[in-house]
Amino acid sequence: MEELPVYLEEEEEEEEDWETNLRYEVIEFILRRHGLLSAHDIARVLGWKVVQVNRVLKTLESAGRVKRTRLGRTNVWTHIEEHQRNLMYY
């Protein structure tokens, strides 16, 4: 059996990066558009599993693109630009 050329393997890696980047962008868009949302709400809207959404949200949080806030027993997420824009000073 012949081995596949290297360039085909590279194309598969690019497709995975493209899909991953798209997931990040979609979740960031939703958070920018709608503000505070839980991972469960995002998963329901996108038809994804909550585990998948949490994985993406935690990656975005470590990159400094979204912020997690504890609300009761659950976490809600917001885009970092939205969070900074709505600060209230007393």
Encoded amino acid at 25, one letter: E
List the domain boundaries for the chain. Answer: 6-85
Task: Please write the tens of the pLDDT for every residue from 69-88.
Answer: 998 888 899 988 755 555 55
Contacts of 59 (CB under 8 A, 6+ apart): 24
Res 85: pLDDT: 55
Question: Which has the closest alpha carbon to 23: 42, 8, 40?
Answer: 42
CATH topology assigned to domain 6-85: Arc Repressor Mutant, subunit A (1.10.10)
How confident is the model over 17-39, as pLDDT tens digits? 888 888 899 999 999 998 889 99
Relative to beta strand 74-79, strand 66-71 is antiparallel
Count of C-beta atoms within a 10 Å radius of residue 40: 13
